[in-house]
Amino acid sequence: MNTQLDIRHILPTIRVPTLVINRTGDRDANAEEGRWIARQIPNARFVELSGEDHLPWVGDQDAVVDEIQEFLTGARSVPESNRVLATVLFTDIVDSTEHAARLGDRAWHDLLDVHHALVRKELTRFRGREIKTVGDAFIATFDGPARAVQCASTIRDGVVQLGIEIRAGVHTGEIELAGSDIGGIAVHIAARVIAAAGRSEVLVSSTVKDLAAGSGISFSDCGSRVLKGVPGEWRLFAAF
């Protein structure tokens, strides 16, 4: 019965904004029919979408919804970005393999437990977010570079009582959120910064140093470095 209805004669009488949507390969209504209908309705707008489904809630539904939303409101919704600005901190224990060999498995794991507890305590204190641990290494994010540097420095000073040393790398940039994990070039840069750090050193990028101005943190210039896989040279600074 729906197919037998003939509404051609009333199309020119429609005097409200009208949107006609047709999919190019629609298996029930030819796209040319949709164009003809739109031409009969004064000031109607015709949109042709790819696909062959006839029902609007089948196939690429988002494309249909986007067109309707723009028609009704004048704008489409902007997809929520999964990129945010954050300061990334990497830490790891210096000479961890040697320590593990010297102490033995049980004592080394006990030491790691104490180390992890100390790191997590400082992350909480400085409002850092633990992303993950890989062996003796920590990856965390902060909403401010100064807190990240202060946290790293406190951890560095605190682990001395455990008879170990850590090194840390800090960089600020846009990261990609992937569930509970993070990614993006800023994470890679932070990883390269820690790779360049020495014993008991908190090494930061020039971005972090500039953003931490006025925080009271002192930095010493370590010169420019080429970070593996990252274009250009990067000026690095040691926090103390």
- Report d(CA 43, CA 86) in Å as an integer: 48
For position 110, what pLDDT does the model report? 97
Torsion, Cα of 97, 101, 107, 112 (10° steps) = 0
Residue 219, C-beta contacts closer than 8 angstroms, at least 6 positions apart: 204, 209, 212, 237, 238, 239, 240
Main-chain phi, psi angles of 137, to 5 degrees? -100, 145
Q: Is 163 exposed, middle or buried (0-12, 13-18, 19+ CB in 10 A)?
A: exposed
CA distance 89 to 212: 14
**pLDDT per residue rounded down to tens, the chain (240 residues):** 877 889 999 999 999 999 999 999 998 889 999 999 999 999 999 999 999 998 888 888 989 999 999 999 998 877 667 899 999 999 999 999 999 999 999 999 999 999 999 999 999 999 999 999 999 999 999 999 999 999 999 999 999 999 999 999 999 999 999 889 999 999 999 999 999 999 999 999 999 999 999 999 999 999 999 999 888 899 999 999
Position 21 scores a pLDDT of: 96
Q: What is each CA distance from 228 to 111, 163, 201, 240, in whole angstroms?
A: 32, 31, 19, 25
Question: Any bridge partners for residue 19, and if so which?
Answer: 45
At 34, list the tokens. Answer: 């949709």
Whole-number pLDDT of residue 60: 86
Which pLDDT score, from 0 to 100, does residue 222 have?
97
Instruction: Please give the Cα distance from 78 to 69 (Å, whole number).
Output: 12
pLDDT of residue 58: 85
CB proximity list for 136: less than 8 A, separation 6 or greater = 92, 93, 96, 112, 115
Alpha carbon of 229 to those of 171, 192, 213, 234: distances in Å?
15, 9, 28, 12
